[in-house]
Amino acid sequence: MGACTNDDEQWSFSSASFVDRRSSKQVYDNVHGNIYLDPLSLKFIDTEQFQRLRDLKQLGLVHMVYPGASHSRFEHSLGVYWLAGEAVHAIKACQGLELGIDRFDMETVKLAGLLHDVGHGPFSHLFEKAILPQILHGSNWSHEDMSVRMIDYIVDEHNIDVDSQRLKKVKCVKDKKFLYDIVANGRNGIDVDKFDYIVRDTRACGMGCNFQFRRLMESMRVIGDEICYRAKDNLTIHKLFSTRADLHRTVYTHAKVKAIDLMLVDALTEADKFLKISSSIQEPAEFWKLDDSIMKTIETSSDHELKESRDLIRRIRRRDLYRFCNEFSVPKDSLDHFKAITPQDIVCSQRSGGIALREEDVAVSNVKIDLTRGRNNPLESINFFMDYESDEKFTIQDDRISHLLPAFYQDMIVRVYSKKPELVGAVSEAFENFQLKTFGIKPQVHSTPEKKKRRVI
């Protein structure tokens, strides 16, 4: 099919949007401007389970390092809802008849965008990636699974009149797979979820963002049940993944942010013995009551059983953080067989004499940063088309894009922290010994300053 240049098609698309907006509620978003919420979506939004997302910060405790990063999953979910609608409208305007996209499909995609995070845990991804595995060894709990269960719970709890087929498609689209890819694209990683959080997070943290997602939304095209992109937009797509990697390196895994994360993991792991936080993760009726306020609950509690957790949270408040000692990037040739470094590895690397470290004195953060496809170039999994007159889709090799693109697509960074200020020197030296013994390398980039090693409190 040719490009969308027909004036009647463009006018029809705009008119349809206008009719929808007359029956919708308008709210203002500081990223996307005016957002219009349709009546069905409002039935879900106006529930305590969805409103809970206001009490989940999108970036967990990042706001303690970047004060502006206080936006919530509520805002993000509205943004994804809106962009999902914009994307499916754009595809319908160009290929609606060809693909059989109807109003049912459009409303379903928007609802999927709205509810994609309704089962998310507190403190961003820290809850399921670090806290639960520490409390429940071998835990495979995921917010995606809980979101599916939470949708059913909300419908039943609030008697929401929604077609069962629509609900089934919201949770998982089997036919017209490209529709679900709009919200969460497991095939190539390009979706409106990323479009929203990349723009929203960079703005909140004061980072520049030269990724133009609207350029992709206006030109994308479905070929063979897959969303494809113009070949000349390959660098725009690369900016999407490189900006995401920059956010991970600069914001999400900032050394101070990870120090706070490690302390919160310790605090909640200890608190679970008394509060039984993990007991609420299986049932939506209990899970929706869990949000970021658990931190304040512990902090203000007078229960003796929570003293250790309370002390850790107060240390976070008072900026008495675990002390960053050193970091290194795992050599490329060691990545294939890399195993996460543990406090035991560091303690066992101590030389004889001096302070005897214990595992509980050391914290380690193993940070993986990539462009969504591990060590592979993400562009290799994306299909492009040359122009709107052609139905051929193809991938583009690195050397056909630019010789300035990275030759390697993944970093594994190991950071070590001392939980006590007076042990910084001993932990730093043990970590240096570990690097020499394991990888035959000298300390990289951040050697611990001598005055920091000698500091005793």
Complete domains list, the chain, with CATH: 7-255 (1.10.3210.10), 323-371+409-457 (3.30.70.2760)
Residues 102-124: tens digit of each pLDDT = 888 999 999 999 999 999 999 99
Confidence at residue 455, expressed as pLDDT on a 0 to 100 scale: 54
Q: State the DSSP string of 312-327.
A: HHHHHHTT-PPEEEEE
According to DSSP, residue 401 is labeled: T
How buried is residue 205: exposed, middle or buried, by Cβ count under 10 Å (0-12/13-18/19+)?
buried
Q: Letter for the amino acid at 235?
A: L
Q: What is the pLDDT of residue 339?
A: 92
Beta bridge partners of 413: 329, 367
User: What's the chain's Rg over C-alpha atoms?
Assistant: 24
In angstroms, rounded to a whole number, what is the distance separating the alpha carbons of residues 14 and 115?
26
* Rounded to 5°, angle at Cα 107 from 103 and 113: 150
CA distance 346 to 254: 21
Taking a C-beta distance cutoff of 8 angstroms, is the pair 284, 253 a contact?
no
Report the 10 Å Cβ neighbour count for 428: 25
Rounded-to-integer distance, Cα 403 and Cα 394, Å: 20
Nearest to 366 by CA among 335, 407, 333: 335
Contacts of 102 (CB under 8 A, 6+ apart): none
Whole-number Å distance between alpha carbons of 206 and 209: 9
Single pTM value for the model: 0.90
How many Cβ atoms from other residues are within 10 Å of residue 401's Cβ?
16
- DSSP H helices in 1-116: 7-22, 39-45, 48-51, 73-99, 103-115
Q: Would you give the DSSP letter of residue 139?
A: -
Task: Compute the distance between CA of residue 396 and CA of residue 381 in angstroms, rounded to an integer.
Answer: 9
| Opening angle at CA 206, ends 201 and 212, nearest 5 | 60
How far lies 414's CA from each of 103, 258, 411, 435, in Å? Answer: 49, 11, 10, 10
Q: Are 88 and 101 in contact (CB under 8 A)?
A: yes
pLDDT in the model for residue 406:
63
Q: How many CA atoms lie within 13 A of 452 on its CB side?
A: 15
Q: Establish whether 158 is a catalytic residue.
A: no
Non-local (6+) Cβ contacts of 449 within 8 A are: none
Q: How many CA atoms lie within 13 A of 195 on its CB side?
A: 27
Residue 323, beta-bridge partner list: 418
pLDDT below 50 — which residues of the chain? Answer: 1-2, 5-19, 456-457
Which DSSP string corresponds to 202-223? HHHTT------HHHHHHH-EES
**CB neighbours (10 Å) of residue 33?**
8
The amino acid that residue 22 corresponds to is R
Which of these is catalytic: 143, 248, 254, 403?
A: 143
The pLDDT of residue 121: 96
CB-based contact 186:178 (threshold 8 Å): no
